[in-house]
Structure 1
């Protein structure tokens, strides 16, 4: 049986010793035994468990409870409940597949809206409330999208905002992509790209942050992140099967 000190575990994974202690504190790895001097003694099981946790959290997909599912899976494995951990991982993979399908469907809808396939020209001029009601979104969502530059709204002489057919089409695109959990930054990037180049690849535009972006979130490259998370989840499933076989009887081996 191999044993490790906190600093050695940290060095294996290239993390700070405090991170190892944090993983222990929140239950992502089991509490190690301690020597008479109080020093923690980690085992090979801790190494495998920490590897599993790091893989699970490498891509932090947050929508629809995905992060919680990953945390629950890690904690189940930490408690040696491998059957539960495997079941949770399989459910996690199914959810990731659904999220990818939703993301792809939103792009397909966007392509059709941009091509004019879904365009219904009414000629109507709508108020903000009428627009929100038509699209079944909140007025706060409309304000937020406008404040973040996704839409520039015309105003009447009295200062009231008015929405035309082209605005409605753009808002339908935004709504569809937001429902699939694309970030506002990713949507704005895509809209700006197709405005300057109508033949641009929508999928590439929405999934490729600019090099000079200060902060890039997972949802700024949603398609890539979901695919990466699913790949990691498949690796976790394989690892859990091996851990179940090796550590079910004695986690210290």
Structure 2
């Protein structure tokens, strides 16, 4: 059986030795035996587990517990329960695919709403009426306004009045938020749409601007979900290989 030191493991995996110790502390790898002098002894199993964990933790998607599920898969594999880890990964992959379907579907809903924009022209509602009409909380409406997603005009008495155009915009925002697009990605798309009604919505909402300071996974949701699916397929294949290697049939 091959054995490795902390420094050798770090070099093989391409991480800092301190990261190796963190993985051990977080129980993302199997228990590490030690020599009499206290030095850690790693095996090929640890190398495979590190590669699995590194791939799983590359996923930036956090919504609906996906990150937590990835961590649970890693820990289950570290305990040599590969069959369970494989089943968990299949469920994880299925959820990622559903998230991507939701993201794609939201784009189609937006296109459909924009094609029927004239039907909203006669609408004029107060904030509370909008909250009931769209089933959106007052706090959510305030949050979207504070984040610049819409600018509502006021009457002389100070009351906000939502026009048909505002309602259409809110329906678009609601559809995209339900699919977990970020507020910044939605704002980017809405601004681009106001400049050019014929833009490729899917492309604009999935490609952050070069001068954006902070970019999250939900700012490029479809791309991130595609990457997550690719990683999940690798994890699934890797787990099956680990199961053959470390739990061979009798």
Rounded to whole Å, the distance in 1 between the matches of 2:208 and 2:148 is 17
5+ residue gaps, structure 1: none
What are the within-5 Å matches in structure 2 for residues 171-250 of structure 1? 171-248=170-247
Match of 2:75 in 1: 75
Q: CA RMSD in A?
A: 1.5
Please state how far the C-alpha of 1:116 moved relative to its aligned partner: 2.0
Is residue 50 from structure 1 mapped to residue 53 from structure 2 by the alignment? no
Rounded to whole Å, the distance in 2 between the matches of 1:194 and 1:127 is 25
Residues 106-155 of structure 1: CA distance to partner in whole angstroms, max 9, x if unpaired?
Answer: 000011112226x5336232111111111111111111111111101111
User: 5-14 vs 192-201, which deviates more?
Assistant: 5-14
TM-score (norm 2): 0.96
User: 58-67 vs 75-84, which deviates more?
Assistant: 58-67
Residues 212-238 of structure 1: CA distance to partner in whole angstroms, max 9, x if unpaired?
Answer: 111110000000111111011111111
Rounded to whole Å, the distance in 1 between the matches of 2:119 and 2:18 is 58
The number of aligned residues is 249
What are the within-5 Å matches in structure 2 for residues 100-111 of structure 1? 100-111=100-111
Rounded to whole Å, the distance in 2 between the matches of 1:160 and 1:2 is 74
User: 25-34 vs 6-15, which deviates more?
Assistant: 6-15
5+ residue gaps, structure 2: none
User: 186-195 vs 124-133, which deviates more?
Assistant: 124-133
Rounded to whole Å, the distance in 1 between the matches of 2:154 and 2:50 is 56
Rounded to whole Å, the distance in 1 between the matches of 2:195 and 2:229 is 33
Please state how far the C-alpha of 1:188 moved relative to its aligned partner: 0.6
Contact 2:82 2:239 in 1 (8 A): yes
Residues 82-105 of structure 1: CA distance to partner in whole angstroms, max 9, x if unpaired?
Answer: 000000000001101110110011
Please state how far the C-alpha of 1:61 moved relative to its aligned partner: 1.1
Rounded to whole Å, the distance in 2 between the matches of 1:214 and 1:9 is 34
1:123 partner SS = coil
What are the within-5 Å matches in structure 2 for residues 162-177 of structure 1? 162-177=161-176
Match of 2:21 in 1: 21
Match of 1:134 in 2: 133
Residues 174-195 of structure 1: CA distance to partner in whole angstroms, max 9, x if unpaired?
Answer: 0000000000011011111111
4+ runs of 1 displaced by more than 4 Å? none
Distance 1:124 1:111, change over 3 A: closer
